[in-house]
Structure 1
């Protein structure tokens, strides 16, 4: 699977480990650190309904119709395209050596790996890295801002929105708009295939969140925020920023909150 799939899997697994280590404690429904909670819960419910009725059936059909080697090749193809943005973000974060590795990875997989369908680079010691424009903004000191759920997309933040815009500008697929109707159709089909492939990659891990979370919304929010900070800091998260369980007399659900 491509980078996006692996990252989401890591996010889900780390969230479960976080929940199991923290235990179940009650917290108030109103969270001053989540001022847009009312909107976010509605947007998450919309996304859940859309996923249940559209994306999940589409992903199941994709898995049935696509042999595993083909599925892996499609994931590798989109992962290879993603390496262009990864390389640019390496450079913007002054990770010069890593930028060279990721550029070499892209060139090798594009040529020897048959347009990226075969991940040759990993086998010779050029691993897949995870860098996006939101991480670049974080490295530059831009704070994430409040948690935000985007319809059709999912967990994000104001910094995350800026990151999406930057990533879109670095994605060569988006420039097919200058290639006429045929190129636009090809680009749209490519995006749909990419999204379906990503969703299919989550089929085996989605139950973890559903079964581990009492308040699913708060579980996803806290896990997402900690995972993004982990990526921005390359795993070196200050101890004060780790999520810790807190106790409350409220009984409207159980979850975790960031320590103050």
Structure 2
């Protein structure tokens, strides 16, 4: 099932997301793209602040608060990432990360339609992350949808180079993306200092087109 959903997502990406993101990267000035990325990064720092606080991480919470205050004021609503220039580190955290720090295991690796790779823990956290997203706090649907779409396109544009590298280097794109995702989740979970690797999360048997275990 995971591979089937991955194949579907790949087609959607190649037909819709990648062309739009490529056009965005080629047409929109670099300074504007950077400002857009910084703006959404600042919104993400607000939610990271909450989750670092929920996990009882005082230093990370303080850094996150400092980033939000500096970038929202001096950085003009986050358009300029002044906090990074001041060497204030970013500590990304969503509710899935918080659950992990509370001791909840990642669970099986899954691939969600359109949304992409996740673990069962991340799936359980999705409703909370969605509800808490600052872009979803706008009552006007047009504004909310525009910001959501802009965030998706700008995020995809940032990873154009990485996806091209993956396409060229990976003999098995599914396994490459899965391993990269799980590694990144561990990196975020331990704030860049993960312990020795744990065994990969259990998932459904990896079957080929004939239904045989690979």
TM range (shorter): 0.7 to 0.9
Residue 187, structure 1, aligned to residue 144, structure 2: yes
Q: 2-side partners of 1:228 and 1:98: how far apart?
A: 17
- Is 1:218 aligned with 2:175? yes
Give 2:204's aligned residue: none
Unaligned runs of at least 5 residues, structure 1: 1-38, 244-251, 253-260
Match of 1:61 in 2: 23
Residue segments in structure 2 that go unaligned for 5+ positions in a row: 201-207, 209-214
Q: Choose which of 54, 66, 84 in structure 2 pairs with 1:92.
A: 54
Match of 1:112 in 2: 74
Once the two structures are overlaid, the 10-residue window that deviates more, 60-69 or 157-166, is 157-166
Flag the structure with more relative contact order, 1 or 2, with Cα contacts below 8 A and sequence separation at least 6: 1
Matched length: 201
Q: Quote the residue 1:83 is aligned against.
A: 45
In the TM superposition, what is the alpha-carbon distance from 1:144 to its structure 2 partner? 1.2
Q: Tell me how far apart the structure 1 counterparts of residues 27 and 127 of structure 2 sit (CA, whole Å).
A: 33
Say whether residues 1:43 and 2:5 are aligned partners.
Answer: yes
| Structure-2 separation of matches of 1:234 and 1:57 | 33
Verify: 1:165 aligned to 2:116, yes or no. no
Highest Rg: 1 or 2?
1
CA distance in 1, matches of 2:42, 2:193: 27
Q: 2:105 aligned with 1:148, yes or no? A: no
Matched-pair contact (CA < 8 Å) for 1:146–1:157: yes
Normalised by the size of structure 2, how large is the TM-score? 0.88
CA RMSD of aligned residues (A): 1.7
Q: 1:197: how far off?
A: 0.1
